[in-house]
Amino acid sequence: MSKANLTQNNSFLIDMTKCTGCRGCQVACKQWNQLKAEETEFFSGEGYQNPPAMSEYTFTRIKFRDYQKNGQNEFAFYKEMCMHCNDPACASACPVGAFVKTEEGPVIYKAERCIGCRFCMIACPFGVPKYEWSKGLPLVKKCTGCYDRIMEGLKPACVTACPTAISYGPRDEMIKEAEQRISRYPDRYINKVYGKEEAGGTAVLYLTSLPFDELGFKPVTMRALPSYTWSALRLVPTIFLTVGAGLSALSWINHRKDRLKAEQEQLAIEESVNPKEEN
């Protein structure tokens, strides 16, 4: 795929009938994003996946679902990640614009703007943004859609690593491809492209042979969630919105001061440990 095609409104098409559960996408994501390994325990309450949930150190994971087919135990797998909504609720809820929907498709996060309010975590219908609970001055973490790779003309790391299940390209082409597969193999797929309309449409599309609710997909409205936000906000008196904006700005200033102070203290410590040699 050319660099020109990667700078369009792109989407992931994940065909779960082709996923082997190899978790190569998980490894590639950790490697590219330099994410630490985390100590986990095996948890079989929801499936056999590990880690048991996405976190500040895990942006994507393969979820396992066991079911019976013709009296035999079978596994189904699906890739859980940020859905990169067309009209993201996280961006709508953020008072300082820390989340941005790019023209290329990914929803990216600007850490320098974040005030740590966690409204994004509440707003996201898919429960994607995670907080850095391990840090004193935490940020929000989530899949970036490998925006840095895309801007260099590369595909996302998980797409490159996947041997069978993930396609990537302009959203209209991915929807067309998904619908063609359903039409060509009606016995293989549920007649639905998940993500085509969910939450107003997302940049991650799924095909499956099993009902989506049985796989653990969360039921969401077809309407873009920010439209509900603004429908509610228009009923709120302007004075409260003004005060809220002022408090958010004050919080952002204080938060940024604390972060800069912490960075300066860390730099001072490093310089004291490794003093520069004088000429």
More confident position, 70 or 15:
15
The CATH number given to whatever domain includes residue 186 is: 3.30.70.20
Name the least confident of 84-88, 114-118, 171-175. Answer: 114-118
User: Is the distance from CB of 24 to CB of 156 less than 8 angstroms?
Assistant: no
Same domain for 240 and 152: no
Mean pLDDT of the chain: 83
pLDDT at 244 over 90: no
Which structural domain range is residue 253 located in?
236-273
Name the least confident of 108-117, 118-127, 226-235. Answer: 226-235
pLDDT of 278 reads: 47
Same domain for 221 and 153: yes
The set of long-range contacts for 96-101, using a CB threshold of 8 Å and a minimum separation of 24, is: 96/248, 96/249, 96/252, 98/140
* 266 belongs to a structural domain: yes
* 110 belongs to a structural domain: no
Distance in angstroms (rounded) separating the CA atoms of residues 194 and 244: 36
Q: What percent of the chain has pLDDT over 70?
A: 76
Distance in angstroms (rounded) separating the CA atoms of residues 159 and 171: 15
Name the least confident of 86-90, 193-197, 209-213, 266-270. Answer: 266-270
Distance in angstroms (rounded) separating the CA atoms of residues 273 and 200: 53
pLDDT band at 138 (very low <50, low <70, confident <90, very high): confident
Same domain for 217 and 261: no
pLDDT at 183 over 90: yes
Name the least confident of 19-28, 109-118, 255-264. Answer: 255-264
pLDDT tens readout for residues 63-105: 888 777 777 777 788 899 999 999 999 999 999 999 999 999 9
Name the least confident of 136-140, 152-156, 170-174, 205-209. Answer: 136-140
Same domain for 186 and 69: yes
User: Is the distance from CB of 51 to CB of 63 less than 8 angstroms?
Assistant: no
pLDDT of 150 reads: 95
Same domain for 268 and 221: no
pLDDT band at 268 (very low <50, low <70, confident <90, very high): low
Q: Residue 145's closest CA among 200, 218, 86?
A: 86
Helix (H) / strand (E) element for 187: namely none
Same domain for 64 and 159: yes
pTM to 2 decimals?
A: 0.79
Same domain for 241 and 179: no
